[in-house]
């Protein structure tokens, strides 16, 4: 086995030579980057990479075949860019490296930075009285945003579809009365103008997260937009959907995690809480969590409210109804007013 | 253990008495149903069920608690309805029990009933020449429907979004030239009028399967609609989405299975072939399969084409491009013209 | 309609007769249960049920078809068992209604009730030095449980499979030296005896959650068992797996949420944090969360540690390695010792 | 820009030096491999890699940080292994490029190459009479393999767990009587010896697909092994599980697709039919489909049987029971004998 030991020593020596060259190379790349900073040319240059690779492969006399040489040098190029903090992916407007100014959630609604934003209200606007009772409870408890659907996207065309413009009017009247910000969903490009006349915040539902025409249309307004993650949307797709809005000029974007579809049936959807810190790392966007739609049950709302805030969420959305058992939709997941108060107290309201 | 044997015998006797009563009861329910048929009253009467249950619980002296008595009688009521072929669910227009006339796929396009319908074409309209080459290949091989996107919903706003109206015009010109039916996607309620002017068949993409306003809008046209299953939509949700279209008057509906999101990464989505016979059992709607988008690769298209037709699909949709490696989108999944011919021959064209 | 009224009256009478028979039947079942209590025979007897059903179907002369008769009697049998509290669902040993005493997590390891239990250590035992360094860091920071794998289940047979008994010995020596509880995985029924000789806590990995023979085998020991949720196991299945252990006598069971498989790729698995309060509602078992395996990345461990504890988890498990970049497995997810200290401080250690 | 040109030239020179060293290194690795071939030691040595990396990082003086150095060297190590054909990915025993001879499905059971292999039988061995009736029906219809479970892995410990050795004896007796090959599941390493005494084919269930110790144990027998895909196992993981068996010497391996877990509830699992041609591309292994467990319903078995065979499956497995409504497990998915005959005729038996 002496022979093996000898061969290994030689490999060790080569490893160290390569190491030195890699560091020398890195120092040169650093100089080039500084030069480019001065001259303002682009950092990442795929053509230059292709040229270098072509040169290298021309020089290759083996025994390593070209494809393996290419593999190592791709890694070397990638490392060099990484070292200089240069990504070869596009900079998104909503991304962490963007210089666009994206407002924080509390700034949008003039709320104290150290308390979580709470958005609450019934699933749908059903009538003035119910909404008025909820609004009063919100006001009494220091909650500033009321949500209620006037346009309800429903799986079956035979289910209650919302009061539409009549619902918008009730929401507008009630939110004015109690000086609350109103939040409501918009489901059709043709309705955006109407809905924004009545509501302070527009919501894009999970089913419409990749309805790109709708995203562009709300991107032309200046209202804050709550963009819900689609039921099977990846985090990347959610971020790109936000970019559609931002590209049109509207930077008041609030992402909303609301669970993804899995095989587990104890909750309606599986809340992907890991998405919260990931989105914080990859974007400057605020993110809230819709607890009611994701869970589809209310007996564990308090624990999850605490969990998502601990994970870094900027706020939560929950459904509150004065008489959940009589609600026209989603009656099992709506808190009554007492339960809502209990939830608020667990998160320090 | 004599005692156990004795008790068991008594239980057996009671079982048999209950059995007799259940059958006697079934005979009575049968008579009532016949009466109702004559008088034209509704079969399923939830109020009558609630009354019976209330009576029964009033009579209950135990030892079985009310909730368990209720459980058994719910089963008895359910069984009785089942026996009479009465479902307590609503009859959908598109459902198997509906009396609405839904056209078959071959009838819509005047195609022989015993060959599968093939819809083919490039992912997107890119220019006249490419589309013309594909159309010629379709014509030469007896394929009657050409597909190509003019509006391309893309995850990133920075990706190619389609030629829009210019693309529609090219599609129109080419399909006219070769006397093919043209198929193209519509993504916004405001575009439906324009798109239907140029195209013969409107497609609703997977991302818009629950864009209910768009469904309603195409439901007002008289064009055949290809409705693609959402990436995480259940079969039930797909059927209800079709019902949204049918309710507006348009019954020329073609469902399209295109795979669902799972953890498996060897295919872009997991083709749910079991959905084909299930949809055949539950609806009268034709169903096709989009092989290219579901698989995201072309090396297994032939095998899957055979499989979905064997499972009962009425047709298939595949992407064909004269030079897939140069395509602006989805280049890996598009067949070239030779590969397309090969695929056709494996399914007996 | 007199006729209808008459028929309905007859049905009401039959309903009442059935009711009486059901109660009579329940009284007999009660007697049998008492008999069985005395003789110590098993309560639930699927063979007896099959026999009764067979007898009943033999007697059935219609008009109800066999399958509907079977449906009603399944409900009757189920009700009878329920009435006697024999149901699997209502009275698991590990369930909330059980009277079995299940120890709390802190009690098992003599840890203060108001701080979360932390289990930490390298993915695998690699050598004495590494493990010694980790153990020292744990000791210095008040952590009482060290984990390290000696048997490593790996997707590929060509990957590092663990040091086996040699690894157990190192773990034993190190944990003794620092007076830590040692935690290690067991993967084969034949190894249980050996592993428990060396380790204080046995872990059942995700892939073995439904390896029922292994569950039974560890159920015969008196060591605490960490039972990890399978990658696609429902909460119900996890609870039943725990019941397999408890039934053998071992009640020192610790459930471990570690993420489920979904389409999302930013984390290795999707942590199902909602499972924590659900398990607290349905069982008396402690539950911890394995952050490292679920996330597969370490940059968001701190946020998730806070989140799962806020949701009610009793503890967390994380991977710590003195030189993660040199680790033989899972190097990307292991914290180095400084990062580990940082994580501890965010959860109040 | 002279400066830039100059720096780039220097980088080019370094690239070439690195290239030379990589090739020199490759030549040394080649020598080591030849040495190892002679001495019979293992090729791939993760410990040696860890040592080299440790050495290199000790030498590293920057400016490249350790983690980037590690990235490049991982690529270099990987390339070197690849070059020697040592990679796990490129040359599995069960892979397409392997030179190992893997028997075809029909060869294993002396069945005509042009008819699909059918494996049928009840979910579990319940008694002699039932199994005898099924076996007779198989024999009469030209089916050569009978399946029946003696060890039943069940979610709940309170469900019927199989007749164990008594069941094996019945299966053995019946299969002998009708000259059928018997198939049955083994769930514990300790049972392998016993089960193989009675049965001709051993089955590894979905829950045990990554019970690697069990895989190794059946790999030591010479019986054909049916390896079922785990409920959330990727195709890659299934192939690696087969490799565990093949590595022990047993090459009589039959893969079995049986559906994966998704959100869709109309079928118990979602049959991933695309896996069939993919596995045919990546391995030389036969693959069958378990229709009963994947679908969990029998009304669509015929259509799916045709579909999976059209996709290239070598055979199917279905459950048949003389009286499915009396079966102790999975009664809804088992065909009765008439339905079974109907299914056979749809696939050309």
Reduced to 3 DSSP states, what percent helix, strand and coil does chain D have, rounded to the nearest 5?
50, 15, 40
List of chain D residues whose C-beta atoms are within 8 Å of the C-beta of residue A10: 28
Residue in B215, B271, B207, B268 with CA at minimum distance from that of residue B239: B215
DSSP C270-338: B-BTTHHHHHHHHB---EEEEHHHHHS-STTHHHHHHHHHHTT-SEEEEEB-SSGGG-SS-TTT-B-HH
Going from N- to C-terminal start, the domains of chain D cover 2-83, 105-346
Q: Is B22 on the interface with C (CB under 8 A)?
A: yes
Whether A267 contacts A296, CB under 8 Å: yes
* A224-252 tens-digit pLDDT: 999 999 999 999 999 999 999 999 999 99
Q: How far does the CA of residue A235 sit from the closest CA of chain C (Å)?
A: 7
Q: If pLDDT is split at 50, 70 and 90, which confidence band does C44 have?
A: low
Q: Read off the pLDDT band of D90 (50, 70, 90).
A: very low
pLDDT at D88 over 50: no
Tokens of D327: 């079966």
Predicted local confidence at residue B295, as pLDDT: 96
In this complex, the residue of C266, C271, C311 whose CB is nearest that of residue A235 is C266
Distance separating alpha carbons of residues D306 and D233, to the nearest angstrom: 24
CB contacts under 8 A, A 1-20 vs D, are 1, 3-4, 7-8, 10-12, 14-19
DSSP label at B230? P
Residue of A299, A304, A310 lying closest to C306 (CB–CB): A310
Residue of C nearest to A307 (CA): C307
pLDDT value of position D325: 80
CA of C308, closest CA in chain A: separation in Å?
6
Share of residues in chain A with pLDDT > 90 (%): 67
**Residue C205 φ/ψ, nearest 5 degrees:** -75, 165
**The 3-state secondary structure of D203-255, one letter per residue:** EECHHHCCCHHHHHHHHCCCCCEEEECCCCCCHHHHHHHHHHHHHCCCCCEEE
Rounded Cα gap, residues A132 and A343, in angstroms: 20
CA atoms within 13 A on the CB side of A249: 6
C212·D66 Cβ contact <8 A: no
CA distance B333 to chain A (A): 21
pLDDT of the residue at D31: 86
Per-residue pLDDT band at C90 (split at 50, 70, 90)? very low
User: Rounded distance, CA A173 to CA A180, Å?
Assistant: 10
Residue C90 near chain B (CB below 8 Å): no
Q: Is the pLDDT of residue A301 over 90?
A: yes
Residue contact A14–D8, C-beta within 8 A: no
Q: What is the pLDDT along chain B (349 residues), one digit of tens a residue?
A: 458 888 888 988 998 899 999 899 988 888 888 877 676 565 566 667 778 888 888 888 888 888 888 889 988 888 887 787 665 456 799 998 888 889 999 999 999 988 999 999 999 999 999 999 999 999 999 999 999 999 999 998 888 889 999 999 999 999 999 999 999 999 999 999 999 999 999 999 999 999 999 999 999 999 999 999 999 999 999 999 999 999 999 999 999 999 999 999 999 999 999 999 999 999 999 999 999 999 999 999 999 999 999 999 999 999 999 988 777 667 778 999 999 999 999 998 8
* Nearest residue of chain A to residue D69 (CA atoms): A19
CA atoms within 13 A on the CB side of C47: 7
pTM of the model: 0.84
Hey, is the C-beta of A312 within 8 angstroms of any chain B C-beta?
A: no
**Closest alpha carbon within chain D to B310:** D307
pLDDT score for B58: 87
Pick among 1.20.1560.10, 1.10.3720.10, 3.30.70.980, 1.20.59.10: CATH of C2-83: 1.20.59.10
What beta strand segments (E) does A48-159 contain? 117-121, 145-147
What integer is the mean pLDDT of A214-228?
97
The CA distance from A172 to the nearest CA of chain C, in Å, is 35
Do B145 and B180 meet the contact criterion of CB atoms below 8 Å apart? yes
Give the tokens for residue B237.
């949700």
Q: Between A274 and D38, whose confidence is greater?
A: A274
Report chain C's mean pLDDT, rounded to a whole number.
91
Q: In terms of CA atoms, which chain B residue is nearest residue C269?
A: B263
A76 contacts D22? CB cut-off 8 A: no
Interface of C with B in 251-280 (CB under 8 A): 261-263
Contact D274 B271 (CB under 8 A): yes
**Cβ contact A109:A144 at 8 Å:** yes
Percent of chain D with pLDDT over 90: 67
pLDDT of residue B46: 63
Neighboring chain B residues of A240 at a CB cutoff of 8 Å: 155-157
Q: Does A39 touch chain D (CB under 8 A)?
A: yes
User: Following CA atoms A231, A235, A240, A244 in sequence, which dihedral angle do they give, to the nearest 10 degrees?
Assistant: 50
Collect all residues with Cβ–Cβ distance below 8 Å to C13 and sequence separation of at least 6.
Answer: none
- Within 8 A by CB and 6+ apart from C220, the residues are C192, C248, C249, C250
Per-residue pLDDT reduced to its tens digit, D2-59:
588 888 899 889 988 999 998 999 888 888 888 776 665 555 666 778 888 888 888 8
pLDDT given at position C5: 86
| Structure confidence at residue C88 (pLDDT) | 40
The Cβ of residue A102 has, within 10 Å, a number of other Cβ atoms equal to: 17
Residue partners of C219: CB distance under 8 A and separation at least 6: C225, C244, C245, C246, C247, C248, C249, C250
8-state DSSP, C206: G
What average pLDDT does the structure give for chain A?
A: 91
- To which residue do tokens 């068949």 refer? B201
Q: Are the beta carbons of B264 and D262 separated by less than 8 Å?
A: no
Q: Which residue has the higher pLDDT, A62 or D23?
A: D23
Distance from CA of B16 to the nearest CA of C (A): 6
Interchain pair A21, D26: CB under 8 A = no
pLDDT per position as a tens digit, A106-128: 999 999 988 999 999 999 999 99
Give the separation between CA D151 and CA D172, rounded to whole angstroms.
14
Q: For residues A111 and A119, is the Cβ–Cβ distance under 8 A?
A: no
Q: How confident is the model at residue A42 (pLDDT cuts 50, 70, 90)?
A: low
Q: Does D231 touch chain C (CB under 8 A)?
A: yes
* Cβ pair C200, C227 in contact under 8 A: no
Q: Do C270 and A260 touch (CB under 8 A)?
A: yes
Structure tokens at D138: 């198989």
Its CATH class, for the domain covering C105-346, is: alpha beta
Does the beta-carbon distance from A300 to C306 stay under 8 Å? no
Structure token digits, residue C156: 């590929």
- pLDDT at position D104, please? 95
Inter-chain touch C212–D158, beta carbons under 8 Å = no
Question: In angstroms, what CA-CA distances link A26 with A84, B173, C156, D62?
Answer: 9, 56, 36, 9
């Amino acid at each position: 086995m002496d022979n093996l030991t000898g061969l290994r020593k030689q490999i060790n020596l080569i490893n160290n030579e390569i190491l030195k060259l890699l560091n020398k190379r890195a120092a040169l790349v650093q100089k080039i980057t500084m030069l480019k900073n001065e001259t303002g040319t682009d950092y990442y240059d795929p053509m230059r990479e292709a040229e270098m690779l072509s040169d290298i492969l021309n020089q290759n006399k083996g025994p390593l075949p070209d494809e393996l040489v290419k593999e190592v040098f791709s890694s070397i190029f990638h490392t060099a860019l990484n070292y200089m903090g240069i990504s070869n992916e596009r900079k998104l407007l909503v991304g962490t490296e963007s210089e666009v100014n994206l407002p924080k959630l509390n700034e949008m609604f003039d709320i104290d930075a150290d308390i979580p934003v709470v958005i609450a209200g019934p699933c749908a606007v059903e009538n003035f009285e119910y909404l008025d009772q909820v609004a009063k409870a919100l006001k009494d408890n220091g909650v500033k945003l009321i949500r209620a659907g006037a346009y309800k996207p429903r799986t079956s065309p035979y289910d209650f579809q919302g009061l539409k413009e009549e619902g918008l009017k009730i929401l507008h009247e009630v939110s004015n009365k109690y000086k609350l910000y109103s939040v409501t969903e918009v489901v059709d490009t043709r309705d955006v103008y109407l809905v924004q006349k009545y509501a302070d915040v527009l919501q894009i539902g999970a089913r419409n997260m990749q309805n790109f025409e709708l995203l562009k249309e709300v991107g032309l307004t200046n209202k804050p937009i709550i963009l819900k993650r689609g039921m099977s949307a990846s985090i990347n797709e959610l971020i790109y959907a936000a970019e559609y809005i931002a590209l049109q000029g509207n930077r008041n974007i609030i992402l909303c995690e609301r669970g993804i579809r899995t095989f587990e049936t104890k909750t309606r959807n599986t809340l992907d809480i890991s998405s919260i810190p990931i989105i914080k790392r990859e974007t400057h966007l605020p993110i809230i969590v819709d607890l009611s739609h994701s869970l589809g049950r209310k007996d564990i709302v308090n624990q999850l409210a605490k969990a998502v805030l601990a994970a870094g969420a900027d706020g939560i959305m929950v459904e509150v109804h004065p008489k959940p058992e009589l609600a026209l939709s989603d009656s099992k997941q709506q808190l009554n007013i007492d339960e809502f108060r209990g939830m608020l107290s667990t998160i320090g309201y």
